[in-house]
Amino acid sequence: MEDSPLVENFHVRTASERHFADPIQFWDETLRDGEQMPGVHFSPEEKLRIATVLSDVGVSVIDAGIPVVSPEEAAAVRRVVGAGLKAKILASARTVPGDVEAVIQSGASHIAIFVAASEVHLRYKLKMTQDQVLAASLASVRRAKDAGLHVAFVTEDTVRAPLDFVERLYKAVQSAGADRLVVSDTVGIMTPITFRWYLEEFERRVHPKDWSVHCHNDFGLAVANTLTACEVGVTAPHVCVNGLGERAGNASLEEVVVSLEALYGVATAIDTSRLFELSRLVEEVSGVPIPANKALVGYNSFSHEAGIHTHGVLAHTLTYEPLQPEVVGRHRQMILGKHTGKAALVEKLKERGVAATDPMLAELLRRVKESGEGRGKEQLRAFLDTYRSLFEHPGISDAEFWRMVDETGIHIEAQ
């Protein structure tokens, strides 16, 4: 018989269409965009804990926050900067002189200077013209360069802005010394094919020396779009642990890294075996639970219960596992319950060197299925009640807010 591979890999057929940067550097946004998620707050100590693991696993750049936000935030950035981590520490600033000075004061070696680019942001949020945005951007970039910082220039909502303005703005800041240009899909409206077209057009017009993308997950496409950007040759994609971030979040660090490694065979220099540990740490510190069915780090992503699947995985893991759980620091779990089949029981009995006759197995299976039905539902309902009340009403409640108004001495008068 001819020796054939166990599974076909058609990614090799499309390899010539991908132009990965070498190396791809990961720019982590967990401590800045991730923290902007409603209800999430990291203390300086917690930022340092997360930053330490991020650096240890091989992330290149860590956005530690926006120092001008508050004294605590500035302290957190200084704390992370002072830890002497291997990763480069970046802090963010609007194109406002005070913001840039706060980053310079923080001691961060890298700065991300951001301003909006789309017409809706300029007209309604910034109330600035394109020329004013350009002038403010140039002044901020020059100031940061004069202070010796590595400068990334970011526009919010890049992909909904007029391309001619984007070209003019990015070319100007690059000439003024910006080291890295960041294209943002701030509201997550790109799709892989359109984003590919967009980035190729951006590259053709702007010729970035070094570039990043910042993809949001409003339509569930952040990881797909970020992978597309890597395929086009973007050097430093933005990612967040567990896909944390504003609204539906950003591209997940673990999903982007492992997709590149496992699907395309790209060596990322990230220690993937610590990704689950990192994910659990961020879950704990952020208070945002990892969805049970989340790719790679979800509690179910390497669990099997259904008889057909368990049988397959026991015979050969490749049947229903595209990736060995150990790659991300996990183990597979065989769940006994309603959907269990005979093969799982035989395997389980082997653990203690026990064999059973067919009628005994049938009886055991009946008992396992019966006992598994509806198990844990009451506990889960109680958990869901708590979970919903926390996430449906995060932050300061209305009652608390009006009490603060009162305590502040603001008089509420009828209009």
Binding site residues, Mn ion, CB under 5 A:
33
**Whole-number Å distance between alpha carbons of 283 and 291:** 10
Q: How far is the CB of 215 from Mn ion (least distance, A)?
A: 9
**250, 390, 405, 406, 414 from 402: Cα distances, Å:** 33, 20, 5, 6, 15
Q: How far is the CB of 64 from Mn ion (least distance, A)?
A: 15
Q: Which is nearer to Mn ion, 66 or 103 (CB)?
A: 66
Q: Which is nearer to Mn ion, 240 or 275 (CB)?
A: 240
**Whole-number Å distance between alpha carbons of 135 and 175:** 13
Contacts of 132 (CB under 8 A, 6+ apart): none
Q: Which is nearer to Mn ion, 50 or 266 (CB)?
A: 50
Q: How far is the CB of 391 from Mn ion (least distance, A)?
A: 20
**Whole-number Å distance between alpha carbons of 44 and 242:** 20
Q: Which is nearer to Mn ion, 35 or 231 (CB)?
A: 35
Q: How far is the CB of 175 from Mn ion (least distance, A)?
A: 26
Q: DSSP character for 368?
A: H
SS3 content of the chain, % helix, strand, coil (to 5): 50, 10, 35
Q: How far is the CB of 141 from Mn ion (least distance, A)?
A: 20
Q: Which is nearer to Mn ion, 28 or 33 (CB)?
A: 33
**Whole-number Å distance between alpha carbons of 287 and 275:** 18
Q: DSSP character for 270?
A: -
Q: Which is nearer to Mn ion, 33 or 73 (CB)?
A: 33
**Whole-number Å distance between alpha carbons of 205 and 129:** 22
Q: How far is the CB of 29 from Mn ion (least distance, A)?
A: 7
- CA angle, 50 as apex, 387 and 396 as ends, to 5°? 40
Minimal CB distance residue for Mn ion: 33
Q: How far is the CB of 73 from Mn ion (least distance, A)?
A: 16
Q: Which is nearer to Mn ion, 227 or 345 (CB)?
A: 227
